[in-house]
Structure 1
Amino acid sequence: MNKNIAYFLLRVSMGVNLLGHGIARIPKLFVFAEGMIKGFEKSWLPQSFVYLFSTALPFLEFIIGGMLILGLKTRLANFAGAGLIIMLLFGSSTVENWESMGIQMIYALFFYVLISRTEDNCYALDHK
């Protein structure tokens, strides 16, 4: 039972984190996107790609976060979250932002736990 509660709390914590990122960024979407473009000026990534990704990112964070909070299609949400972190890691590496990569690796570790312990996911809409 404790492992089910622990899974629930970790899943919801990751969900709140991602949802919060999305909620904070969506109202200022274009300011956020312009900031990302500025942050990636030294990257070899095309600015149009950075702009497209940065305008999609808050919506992805919002959706994945909401799914994790509710426990809705949890497996898919965990894989989507892990994939999102991999994309962020890749982007951070192109500008040599090693500090951000360290934080992103912590997120990757949390997604590893969530994915590898899926059998502990009892308190979720998936089980209703």
Structure 2
Amino acid sequence: MKDFKTTYFFLRLPIAISLLGHGLVRLPKLATFSNWMVTSMEKSMIPDFLIVPFSYILPIAEFLIGLSLVIGFKTKYTIFSGLILMSILILGSSSIENWSAIESQLLHSVYLFGLYWFWNKNQSETTH
């Protein structure tokens, strides 16, 4: 594919901006976000000793995954990281029966999988 890099950049851009934006707006208010997440997860069976550190790690992970997707850094591993993050978020959302949040998380997951599929397809075409 001649214009793979350009095309793939524009395919990565929407999900990258979504993740980057999620992290970026939460970083300046990390403690407030953490308190909100801990409060919203009170009904969950997931123990606080896991939720509290995750609530601080999440915005940083979102920001770094988004930034890595924008600049195209280690794309395959960045996509896998995004899929792992979405899986953890889906587990948390399902543990408190927040089904509407799962829709968005699944959409992000499908988009990330599509990016991986497109990336993988191009890699196999360029090696043959």
Scaled by the length of structure 1, the TM-score of the pair is 0.88
Distance in 1, matches of 2:120 and 2:97, equals 37
Gap regions ≥5 residues in structure 2: 124-128
Counterpart position of 2:93: 92
Q: In the alignment, what sits opposite 1:40?
A: 41
Q: Which residue of 1 aligns with 2:51?
A: 50
**1:111 equivalenced with 2:112 (yes/no):** yes
Residues paired across the two proteins, number = 122
Point out where structure 1 has 5 or more consecutive residues left out of the alignment.
123-128
| Contact in 2 for aligned 1:15/1:65 (Cα 8 Å) | yes
Distance between the aligned counterparts of 2:15 and 2:105, measured in 1? Answer: 12
| Partners of 1:41 and 1:3 in 2: CA distance | 49
Aligned twin of 1:16: 17
AA in 2 matched with 1:71: G
Task: Compute the displacement of 1:120 (Å).
Answer: 6.6
**Aligned partner of residue 43 in structure 1, secondary structure:** coil
CA distance, structure 2, for counterparts of residue 56 and residue 70 of structure 1:
21
Structure 2 match to 1:76: 77
Q: Is the Cα–Cα contact under 8 Å of residues 7 and 120 in structure 1 kept in the other structure?
A: no
Pick 1 or 2: higher relative contact order, CA cutoff 8 A, min separation 6. 1
RMSD (Å) for aligned C-alpha atoms:
1.9
